Amino acid sequence: MVFESRVIDVKRVTKVRKGGKKMSFQALVAVGNGWGKVGVGVGKARDPSSAINKGVTNGHKNVIKFNLTTAKSISHESTGYLGGAQVYLRPSSPGSGVIAGGATRVVLELAGVQNIVSKQLGSDNLVNNARATIEGLALIRTSKILTNNLLEF
């Protein structure tokens, strides 16, 4: 399956050196295949396009896999923590859509989740929220009873 990538954020960062300020770019990128595989990567470079390419490469290295239900949702509630960020994920009824904001919405859409409710608590840092979402999705477990209702590809 082909992975789709989406840029969450590109920001300009500077480092003060002996000769002056050295400017570079940091890109936060999410990659996913739409069927339960998703990853988040960060890349830094002197120009934005190189930073985005590095972020995509890093995102492919950090891909996790989880099972989706037939309603394109998750099987149970989950909470992901990273640093000061806390992301709460809860399955939702079919047709409700992705109720999430910021980096969490991008990660969930690329993962293929279509019916979910989430809430970001604590930090508003995009990197930590994206990675906390990945941690929350990595905690999703399914029992053998639910396996008949799951999409596996």
Q: What tens digit of pLDDT does each residue of 110-152 get?
A: 999 999 999 999 999 999 999 999 999 999 987 654 555 555 5
Sign of the dihedral through C-alpha 124, 82, 150, 152: positive
CATH architecture of 4-64: 2-Layer Sandwich (3.30)
Q: What b-and-e string marks burial along 8-29, b requiring 16 or more CB atoms within 10 Å of the CB?
A: bbbeeeeeeeeeeeeeebbbbb
Contact between residue 52 and residue 32 where contact means Cβ atoms under 8 Å apart: no
What is the CATH T-level fold of the domain 66-142, as seen in this structure?
Ribosomal Protein S5; domain 2 (3.30.230)
Q: Model confidence at 66, in pLDDT bands (50, 70, 90)?
A: very high
Residue 98 scores a pLDDT above 60 = yes
pLDDT at 146: 52
Contacts of 96 (CB under 8 A, 6+ apart): 115, 117
Domain boundaries, the chain: 4-64, 66-142
| Res 141: pLDDT | 85
What is the rounded CA–CA span in Å between residue 9 and residue 126?
Answer: 8
Tokens linked to 90? 């809860």
Range 84-112 average pLDDT: 94
Mean pLDDT value across residues 85-102:
93
Predicted confidence at residue 14, as pLDDT, reads: 94
pTM, two decimals, is 0.89
Q: Which two tokens stand for residue 33?
A: 């295949």
Neighbours of 81 (CB within 10 A): 16
Q: Within a 10 A sphere around the Cβ of 153, how many other Cβ atoms?
A: 10
Q: 142 or 59: which carries more pLDDT confidence?
A: 59
